[in-house]
Amino acid sequence: DRPAIFNLQFAIFIKFKNYEDALMPLIKASELSGRHQWTVSILCWLYANTDNVVEAQKMHDELLSRKKSEYISGWFLFVTAYSLKKYDEAFVFLEMAFEEKMPLLMSCRSDLWPIAEELKTDARFQKVIKRLHFPE
């Protein structure tokens, strides 16, 4: 499965913080997936972490625009807003994801999840973790 190969490639590059090499497989995965909201949100995060705020903002704007005519999870909007350091906006979307019962919330403490490092110190995020009833 070609999209899975590209997903694996960029996931490995991201895990080892080789962000520049992650970009091309992620762009390809996004194209192959029809611009799936998951790949667009990770593209936003990746652009933001390579100081390409203009492209990161385009990804966020794309999802906001698409939300007007299709289902876009609050989770992916949370990722894009948080990546752009729009923290207040991000937590509005995180609350939306919580209300949607978005299954990806269960992965939010994983060290494999790129944004997790920044979130671990955010008090608002810790409140969400408590609401998810993770074991101590």
> How many degrees, rounded to 5, is the angle at CA 25 between CA 24 and CA 30?
95
Q: Which of 22, 16, 53 is nearest to 39 (CA)?
A: 22
Query: Hey, what are 1's tokens?
Result: 């499965």
* pTM of the full structure: 0.79
Looking up tokens 């408590």 gives 130
Residues 47, 85 contacting (CB under 8 angstroms): no
Over its length of 136 residues, how does the chain's per-residue pLDDT go in tens digits?
Answer: 444 544 555 565 566 566 777 788 788 888 888 999 988 998 998 899 889 999 999 999 999 999 999 999 999 999 999 999 999 999 899 889 888 887 776 666 666 565 666 777 788 877 877 787 766 6
